[in-house]
Amino acid sequence: MDEQQHHEELVKGITEQMKPVLEKSPQAIYVYLDDNHKVCNKKLTDLLGYESPKEWAETDAPLADVIEEDQPAVIKAYENATEKMLASSIEVRVKNIKTGKVVKTKMILVPIAYSGHLFAMHFLSKI
């Protein structure tokens, strides 16, 4: 199995493991391994204007949904999660791709391990 297939299997596995949280949480959530290997819940796609979690997962640049000025804070929080095992809580503005409306959110970003790999799990709430 090549790395691409392995990462796809990891995303399937973590999606199944996190299914109760993804489906029942009132927050918009995404779980991120890398730009091409990620999953989200319907609440995130509703917030950002995508048709489905699948459509969002197929985007190549998920950070593009974050207002440019706020992107460095998200990158720093991701690095803290994946390199230092630190959770972060930051304010992030995101843009709905359909309406162009900017929404202020609080993002909680936490490191989670699955099958020997580190993911970053993001919870977003409107503020």
CATH number of the domain residue 53 falls in: 3.30.450.20
Task: Give the C-alpha separation, 21 to 108, whole Å.
Answer: 14
pLDDT at position 77 over 90: yes
Predicted pLDDT of residue 60? 86
pLDDT at 120: 96
As for how many domains the chain has, the answer is 1
Residue 48, domain extent: 3-126
Q: Are 86 and 56 spatial neighbours (Cβ–Cβ below 8 Å)?
A: no
pLDDT tens track for 85-115: 999 999 999 999 999 999 999 999 999 999 9
